[in-house]
Structure 1
């Protein structure tokens, strides 16, 4: 599908932007899809450079963009393809550290403005951690503007050398309406049955299976719930390098936990859950936290500055890495329906304060306008 644009005001030709995406983060991919739709509706020509599988999942072309398949790699061929795609663009907007670094390489020697959105802080250990710090410095110092999805990311960008770093207004695309707190939703029993949670509480966690997500802490906490009747079912939707380790622990320790792998129905699973769990510190603006509060599902999360900034007092927050505190918080909520009801209400109020998709597109267009000069008609 070819991008469709409307004439720009004041006799200018349409602004042409290139969105660069690595495709490895569901939150940033959904954000780019939403942003693309809003920009195209306002007459902006959008090209999305992302792996082919990202377009299959998020349908950037269906939102009116031109999709250019660029692998999630910084090898010379990928950078060359990205450089070609960016030729003639008025502005390039990259999402995530690795996509941003590829954009820096592709724009080398050009004066095209580069906007970077950091959705999360990249995590690594050992020599790779040093490499990531080098990439952060290179990107922060090269980008015209860095947008961070949390105050902590904005501060980090400034410390790393960003000339201009701002808090991003990032909306959760098309939030699911709040679900009733019982089985009045006809899809709820079906979703629960599919994950083995019929007649027992369903506790849902979502995220890539890597160390920062804290799923090892979640498995530790699960031991405390094995003595309950009925025993809650913990379901984890996501895939990643720690899957074999987690699966081995589940089997060896006889834990009531199921690894669901990658799912396309995460929204349905969240709406079907009794509690949503966010045990780790790996995300600056966790999609699960946003979807849980929108869906009226009480949230238990590791207390970080970014999460507290996002949810306020509308969730049970526990110290990161503290399995006992996580287990105690879940136990208290399972035993206290009135507290769960209060969290549903406060969650709805907190979600109402978050940026809308209109706010997100408006802020981004404002930044674009700052960085681009009037373009004469072609």
Structure 2
């Protein structure tokens, strides 16, 4: 088959998922071309890539993106188009892509702001124009059905395996007794303000946050100031390619998001055998089960208790790690995810 994969701006999980699909589908003999922003192509190094500037949010240049994608698809004549995320799904649907598969990886969190009605309308367009919708978590499947989606299916995304890490160099760089790690885009969705507030309570501890994003300036300000006027023991690492080494050095991994589907870092932490504290939101409870300590989002006290409890009780941390490894063994693999996508394409094309 000739398969077109479309994505908008991505720096993490969605881009890595598309890399996995490209590799698996290409190995199966299909021709796969990725369409997306030039920066995304450079970051992930897709073998066959065509630049189409699809931004992370609504933009006046969306009409140009639709026109460019329509022209590219006419030239390629793919058997199926698979868009990843609401923005890519919107541009692909307006470009007339058929048959169109849309994977929903994230939820629109702005339900009350001035853009809420516009975003809800855009969601409805994508839900109703897709030939097939794949939701990576149960709540996303429910949302698309609520919006009028026709054929909507659960499609958990398997995380790519991490190599075995070596944390020695990182431990030498950060000599504090305890090392806490979080990885993700610097965005209000990630709830890092909660982590910064809790970090002020932890003596002889260093919190590392790996990632980049639009909330970096606000986060730096929160780290530099506080009720006590002292700097929080938090270091922003920026984008990192050594997550395996960071996990090998960490005593506890933390996810403080206000919503997630199947967060990549949460999966990496359990597979690496690092005790995880995560918020009880979106698809995380179904993903993690009893393999992580689950807390309410935005609850600084609960985060403090969960992290210090694991640091102070190595036996409890070891038991949590054991449950986490057992939970991770039940997740679909990358090969499973590719096989499900390929089966969907064959169903739609009759091939």
TM-score, with structure 1 as normaliser? 0.86
* Divergent runs of 4+, >6 A: none
Structure 1 counterpart of 2:322:
345
Structure 1 counterpart of 2:81:
92
2:169 counterpart (151, 172, 190): 190
Map 1:8-157 onto structure 2 (within 5 A).
Answer: 15-61=1-47, 66-73=48-55, 74-87=61-74, 88-107=77-96, 112-124=98-110, 126-157=113-144
Q: Does 1:332 align with 2:309?
A: yes
CA-CA distance at 1:234 after TM superposition: 0.7
Deviation track 1:130-179 (CA, whole Å, cap 9, x = no partner) reads 222111100000001110110111111111111011111311013334x6
Structure 2 counterpart of 1:266:
243
* Local SS of the residue matching 2:290: coil
CA-CA distance at 1:215 after TM superposition: 0.9
TM-score, with structure 2 as normaliser? 0.92
Q: Provide the C-alpha distance between the structure 2 equivalents of 1:297 and 1:275, rounded to a whole number of angstroms.
A: 6
Cα distance change on mapping 1:192 and 1:133 into 2, 3 Å: farther
Structure 1 counterpart of 2:148:
161
Q: Provide the C-alpha distance between the structure 2 equivalents of 1:315 and 1:81, rounded to a whole number of angstroms.
A: 44
Superposed CA RMSD in Å reads 1.6
CA-CA distance at 1:214 after TM superposition: 0.8
Unaligned regions of 5+ residues in structure 1, if any?
1-14, 180-186
CA-CA distance at 1:305 after TM superposition: 4.3
Q: Provide the C-alpha distance between the structure 2 equivalents of 1:101 and 1:193, rounded to a whole number of angstroms.
A: 47
Q: Provide the C-alpha distance between the structure 1 equivalents of 2:10 and 2:288, rounded to a whole number of angstroms.
A: 25
1:363 counterpart (340, 343, 347): 340
Structure 1 counterpart of 2:206:
233
* Local SS of the residue matching 1:123: coil
How many matched pairs?
A: 339
Q: Does 1:252 align with 2:225?
A: yes
Unaligned regions of 5+ residues in structure 2, if any?
56-60
Deviation track 1:197-219 (CA, whole Å, cap 9, x = no partner) reads 22421101122222221111112
CA-CA distance at 1:373 after TM superposition: 3.0
Q: Provide the C-alpha distance between the structure 2 equivalents of 1:93 and 1:129, rounded to a whole number of angstroms.
A: 26
Q: Provide the C-alpha distance between the structure 2 equivalents of 1:49 and 1:237, rounded to a whole number of angstroms.
A: 27
**Is the CA contact 2:256–2:279 (under 8 Å) kept in the aligned structure 1?**
yes
